[in-house]
Amino acid sequence: MNFRYVNCHTHIFNVKCAPDRFIGLPVARLLANNRTALTALDALMRVGEVLPVLRTGTRESIEKMRSFLTIGTNRSQEGVFELLRSNYAFGPISHVTLTLNMDHMGAGKANIPFSTQLSQVADLKITYKEDMIPFVSIDPRAGSPDQLLALVKDCMERKAFGGIKMYPPLGFYPFDPRLEKVYAYAQEYGVPVLTHVSKGGIFYQGEHMPLDFLEPLTFGGERARHTTVEGEEGEEMNFRDDLRDTRRFLGKTWGKGRRNEAFKLHFSNPTNYHIVLKKFPRLKLCMAHFGGDDAISQYIDDEKAGRKDPLNWHHVICEILKAYPNTYADVSYALWRAKVWPRMSACIDKPQAGQRDISDRILFGTDYYMTIQEESEVNLVNNFRKAIGNERFKKIAVDNPRQFLENRVPLIYGTIH
């Protein structure tokens, strides 16, 4: 075999890397050194099954915490990575390991800061070489534009990282002006950027909504405007009324957490990348989750009914892929849902006459270990691989990742791949 598979979307951070309320429950710091809490969570879930004492949202939060802790508690990042590798009987395979800076999401402090999470992953890269392809997480609140660029250059040029990870629902817009230098560097050297684009996942937990959330700025310090995929600008973005309506609707029943969960969709909206790509049209950008399994499912239903929703996130991403040749989408997390497999297969196949081809821009990824709450990694991958067939799987797990991950970064100390 002269090729290598790539899982383009995995996580190996453990609970020590996560802030106290990263999924809304203030228990992460307590549980980081207390594995017996797994038993307590199991007992609480059993009570909830018998007596409807837990709200649906609370039960879901407990289930997510239980799934996370099953792997993350009392394990190092290397331990999590070894568990990930143990799920793959075929190979050779590389795993893109996405670091995540959660220091600024307003959810309390983690046992270890992001800088420590990052240094641990850098050490693991030396050990695992080409089996691990780390991406450095960038948050515009983590430093000045020059400091952000310096972090990216250090990881890419000195530590042989493979790319950049962004997670806007933690409390920023992808067109934040503080990211301009990072984007310019990424475009110049072909550095891949992978960003979260679905309505699920963790989100900003802070008490206050700062002005740059409500009236965001973009490159050059200008007010951000709603922009089409063709680059046509419309009205200025202003989410003050939206926030007031959300507060009025939620009232005191759900409070701040539900307010923030609703507002995070402004950060995650794929139309935000119209602004980014207008400024950086050659940027190598992957929109993870293909909009989310819920959006893909709705797209399928609309197509069967002869409808088209131009605001459907899956549809928006497909239009971006058609307009910008360096853009990609991965199937991570969404691949757990069998209903979306035929749609994914259609995107991987060559299009019919008159349609634009996006088949070479679809990437395989699982979102390990977040997907454990849906299915085991072994079953997730094997079921999906069987459903789409070996030829399609090779395309999205070998051929397409090769071109996505290729870059022109000058390694200062030589490669450690």
Q: Which of 118, 120, 114 is nearest to 79 (CA)?
A: 120
The residue ranges of DSSP E strands in 289-382, in sequence order, are 327-330, 362-363
Task: Give the chain's length.
Answer: 417
What is the pLDDT at residue 71? 80
CB-CB contact of 206 with 106 (8 Å): yes
10 within 8 A of 97, measured Cβ to Cβ:
yes
Greater confidence (107 vs 253) lies with: 107
Please report the pLDDT score of residue 29 as a whole number.
57
CA distance linking residue 337 with residue 293, whole number of Å: 7
Pairing, β 217-218 against β 285-288: unpaired
Average pLDDT of the chain, as a whole number = 88
pLDDT, tens digit, for every residue of 266-281? 999 999 999 999 999 9
Give the separation between CA 173 and CA 180, rounded to whole angstroms. 12
Query: What pLDDT, in 10s, does the model give residues 221-267?
Result: 999 999 999 999 999 999 988 766 555 444 433 455 678 899 999 99
Q: What share of the chain is helix, strand, coil (3-state, %, to 5)?
A: 50, 10, 35
Average pLDDT over residues 67-90: 85
* Full set of structural domains in the chain with CATH: 5-26+75-405 (3.20.20.140), 34-73 (no CATH)
Quote the tokens at residue 196. Answer: 């979260």
Query: Taking phi first (over 0 means left), then psi (-120 to 50 degrees means alpha), and beta for anything else, what does residue 362 get?
Result: beta
SS3 call for 7: strand
What is the three-class DSSP state of 405? helix
Strand partners, 195: 166, 287
pLDDT at 146: 98
The pLDDT-based confidence of 208 (bands split at 50, 70, 90) is confident
Residue 152: closest CA among 261, 161, 115: 161
Helix (H) or strand (E) holding 170: none
Q: How many CB atoms lie within 10 A of CB 245?
A: 12
Give the number of other Cβ atoms within 10 Å of residue 117's Cβ. 24
Has residue 415 got a pLDDT over 80?
A: no
Q: Which residues of 336-369 are buried (b: 16+ CB within 10 A; e: fewer)?
A: bbeebbebbeebbeeeeeeeeebbbbbbbbbbbb
Look up residue 58 and give its two tokens: 């609370």
pTM over 0.75: yes
Alpha-carbon span 138 to 100, nearest angstrom: 8
Q: What is the pLDDT of residues 291-321, one digit of tens each?
A: 999 999 999 999 999 999 999 999 999 999 9
Distance CA 63, CA 46 (A): 11
Please compute Rg for the chain using Cα positions.
21
